[in-house]
Amino acid sequence: MLERTPDILAELGRLKTHQLLVGFAAETQDAVAYARKKLAAKNLDMVVANVVTEPGAGFEHDTNRAMLIAADGTEEDLPLQSKAAMASVICDRIAARRSR
């Protein structure tokens, strides 16, 4: 029998005080719309919407495409690139927000 597990990200969002909380969303339909909802529902500062349905993107590839969506309304489209390059960009954006 399957049991529902606690939503750790929602709980962290509920408890956060000064932390910068970043979530990830990987959906096959309406990834960006789902990510925007997740951003608000879980009290995130930023969400990375992985666009896994595009050619060359997703779990079975070495490349990915994503949209960074921040709670302040800013959005950044990350083009198809290596996952290592994308991780570097995401870390840079997080560091920039932490320094504000």
Whether 10 is in a domain gets the answer: no
Identify the CATH number of the domain in which residue 38 sits.
3.40.50.10300
Q: Can you say whether residue 2 is alpha, beta or left, with left for phi > 0 and alpha for psi between -120 and 50 degrees?
A: beta
Predicted confidence band of residue 100 (pLDDT cuts 50, 70, 90)? confident
Whether 29 is in a domain gets the answer: yes
Whether 81 is in a domain gets the answer: yes
Distance CA 15, CA 72 (A): 20
Whether 66 and 72 have beta carbons less than 8 Å apart is answered as: no
Whether 5 is in a domain gets the answer: no
Whether 11 is in a domain gets the answer: no
5-60 residue pLDDT tens: 999 999 999 999 999 999 999 888 888 899 999 999 999 999 999 988 888 888 88
Whether 61 is in a domain gets the answer: yes
Element (H, E) at 50: strand 46-51
Burial status of residue 15 (CB atoms within 10 A of its CB: 0-12, 13-18, 19 or more): exposed
Whether 53 is in a domain gets the answer: yes
Degrees, nearest 5: CA angle 11-70-43 = 20
Give the pTM. Answer: 0.90
73-98 residue pLDDT tens: 999 999 999 999 999 999 999 999 98
Predicted confidence band of residue 71 (pLDDT cuts 50, 70, 90)? very high
Domains identified in the chain, total number: 1
Question: 42-69 burial, b for 16+ CB within 10 Å, e for fewer?
Answer: bbbbbbbbbbbeeeebbeeeebbbbbbb
Q: Domain range holding 68?
A: 18-98
